[in-house]
Amino acid sequence: MALVVILTGAGISAESGIPTFRDQNGLWENHDVGEVATPKGWMENPKLVWRFYQERRRGMQGVEPNAAHRALVDLEKKLLNNGHGFYLITQNIDGLDIKAGIQYIVEMHGALRRFRCEKCDYEVENDYLEDDLLPCPECGWVHLRPDVVWFDEMPHNPEIFLSAVNQCTHFVSIGTSGEVYPAAHFIHDALRDGKEVYYQNTDPIHAHLLGMEIHEFQGKASEKVPELCSNILKSLGISEKEELITDNDAS
C-alpha cells in the first residue's frame, strides 16, 4: 500500500488570485511580518493585526480553487478507491483545498475562516468581515483572534503531520519556498528515508536539492500538478480513466 503525502504552500493558490508571501509584490513585501504575524504584534496592536486578517478574509470572497486543487482531490479519491492512503498537509490558510473537496487534510498554519478565543476553548467559523474586533461570546474576553499560526507559535496538529511524513511512501512538495520550519524540513526527511520525492514550483529546484533523486515538475501549479498526479497514479498502476464512485451514485 502506498501513502502519498502532499505539502502545499501559497504557490498552489496563486492562480486562484491569492498573493504569495515572498514573490514580487508578495504579502511580506508589503507588510511587516513582526507587526502583523507574531504574538508580540497582536499584543501590541490587536486592531492592526485584526484589520490585516479581515482584509485577507474579504480578499477570499469569490475566490475558487483552481485546476491544481482539483487534481489533488481527484488523486485522493483514486488512491483511496484503490486501497492506498493520502494526506494533504497545507501551510495555506485559505481553505481552498477543503472547498475543492479534499477529505484528509491538516491545515498546519490554521484557517482564515475561523476565529478563536485565547482565554477559553471557544472557536467559530463565520462570515464576519468587519474591521471591529469581536469579544468572546462565551467567556467575555475582550477579543477573539484569527485562528492562524503566527511566527513563534507551534503549528497545528504536529502529531498528524509528523506521522504522515514519517510513514509516507511518496512525498510531494507543491508551491512552497521552503523558508518556514517545520514544513521546510519534510522534503529532507523524505529524501533521507528513501521515499519517492516530487517537487512542483514555478522556480527551479533549490540549489541544495540539486543532484537528489527528485521528480521535478517546474511550471505553474494549475498545469503541472495534474501532470504530477497522473505520474503518481501511473506509477501505482491506477488507471486515470477509472470511474469514481461519488456520494451521488450511492443515493
By the rule CB under 6 A, 11 interacts with ligand OAD:
yes
CB of 167 to ligand OAD, least distance (A): 23
37 binds ligand OAD (CB under 6 A): yes
Q: What residues between 140 and 159 interact with ligand OAD by CB under 6 A? A: 149-151
Q: Given the complex with ligand OAD, which of 53 and 136 has the nearer CB atom? A: 53
The C-alpha angle 114, 118, 123, rounded to 5 degrees, equals 30
Q: CB burial class (10 A; 0-12, 13-18, 19+) of residue 67?
A: middle
Residue 109 annotated among the catalytic residues of the structure: yes
Site string (88-127) toward ligand OAD, x via CB under 6 A: ---x-----------------x------------------
Number of chain residues interacting with ligand OAD (CB under 6 A): 26
Smallest distance from the beta carbon of 59 to ligand OAD, in angstroms? 15
Is the Cβ of residue 41 or residue 175 nearer to ligand OAD in the bound state? 175
Contact with ligand OAD (CB under 6 A) among 175, 197, 205, 228: 175
Q: In what side-by-side order are the strands of the sheet with 170-174? A: 105-107, 85-90, 3-8, 170-174, 196-201, 214-218
Rg (CA), the chain: 19
Q: How far, in Å, CA of 75 to CA of 233, rounded?
A: 8
Distance CA 107, CA 89 (A): 6
| Distance of closest approach, residue 99 Cβ to ligand OAD, in angstroms | 18
Torsion angle, CA of 176/95/67/236, rounded to 10 degrees? 70
Cα–Cα distance measured from residue 168 to residue 211, given in angstroms and rounded to the nearest whole number: 22
- Active-site pick, 84, 109, 170, 215: 109
Among 20, 112, 165, 233, indicate the residue that binds ligand OAD (CB under 6 A): 20
| Window of 43-51, 117-125, 196-204, 235-243 that interacts with ligand OAD by CB under 6 A | 196-204
Q: Rounded to an integer, what distance in angstroms lies between the CA atom of residue 93 and that of residue 124?
A: 15
Q: What is the largest CA-CA distance in the chain?
A: 56
Residue 36 engages ligand OAD in binding (rule: CB under 6 A): no
- Catalytic residue positions, numbered: 109
Instruction: Please report, as ranges, the residues that interact with ligand OAD according to CB under 6 A.
Output: 9-11, 14-15, 20-23, 26, 37, 91, 109, 149-151, 175-177, 179-180, 201-203, 220-221
